[in-house]
């Protein structure tokens, strides 16, 4: 992986690379891929600058979040960052939190979520992107962040382990997520 890799606040100059990834079938969300792609492409088409600005929602003003089953739940403050390798888009890394505590409501599976396009996987981008994201949660005073993976997602588990993470528990996701089994991981900051 080249040294030019950086995690940036989304910006208009990088939007074409992000949009191209969406158009190739990549999604920043691993639940409801096609819906997320369509929603984000429509938002970019309608108001590109507004889309980019909305990826930082530090006061949770974006309204409720639609769960995979359609129910609406409380939005937490959060932001997304884009991993760039020169001009090439390499992934999206999101962070959300509840101010004043590490505890998350049951509908929020973790503090951190990330997605790397298939054509960039296996080259260390996810590990590097997560490492670059962690100073943000540390700066707001969190003692740790939690992440979740599916039990068979060994690649994501390796990314977490490579960033000092450890397994906390095996649990069942809420019915809104299909009541599937998952693993909860923690990275101490």
Looking at residue 69, its pLDDT comes to: 83
Looking at residue 2, its pLDDT comes to: 54
| Whole-number Å distance between alpha carbons of 78 and 126 | 19
**Chain centroid, CA 71 distance in Å:** 20
Query: What CATH number is associated with residue 27?
Result: 3.40.630.30
Domain span including residue 91:
5-188
**Among 157, 136, 132, 153, which Cα is nearest to 145's?**
136
Contact 187, 160 (CB under 8 A): yes
User: Over the chain (189 residues), what is each successive 10-residue block's mean pLDDT?
Assistant: 84 97 93 87 97 96 86 94 96 96 94 96 96 97 97 97 98 90 98
Q: Per the structure, how many domains does the chain have?
A: 1
Q: Which residues on adjacent β-strands are paired with residue 7?
A: 83
């Amino acid at each position: 992986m080249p040294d030019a890799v950086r995690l940036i606040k989304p910006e208009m100059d990088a939007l074409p690379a992000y949009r191209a990834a969406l158009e190739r079938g990549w999604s920043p969300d691993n639940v409801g891929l096609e819906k997320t792609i369509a929603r984000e492409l429509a938002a970019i088409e309608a108001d590109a600058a507004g889309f980019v600005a909305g990826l930082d929602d530090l006061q949770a003003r974006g309204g409720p979040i639609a769960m995979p089953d359609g129910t609406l739940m409380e939005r937490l403050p959060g932001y997304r960052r884009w991993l760039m390798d020169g001009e090439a888009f390499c992934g999206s890394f999101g962070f959300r939190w509840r101010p004043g505590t590490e505890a998350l409501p049951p509908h929020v599976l973790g503090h951190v979520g990330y997605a790397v396009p298939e054509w960039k996987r296996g080259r260390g981008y996810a590990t590097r992107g997560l490492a670059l994201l962690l100073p943000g949660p540390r700066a707001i005073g969190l003692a740790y962040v939690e992440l979740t993976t599916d039990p068979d997602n060994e690649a994501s588990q390796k990314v977490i382990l490579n960033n000092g993470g450890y397994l906390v528990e095996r649990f069942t996701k809420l019915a809104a997520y299909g009541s599937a089994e998952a693993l909860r991981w923690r990275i101490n900051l």
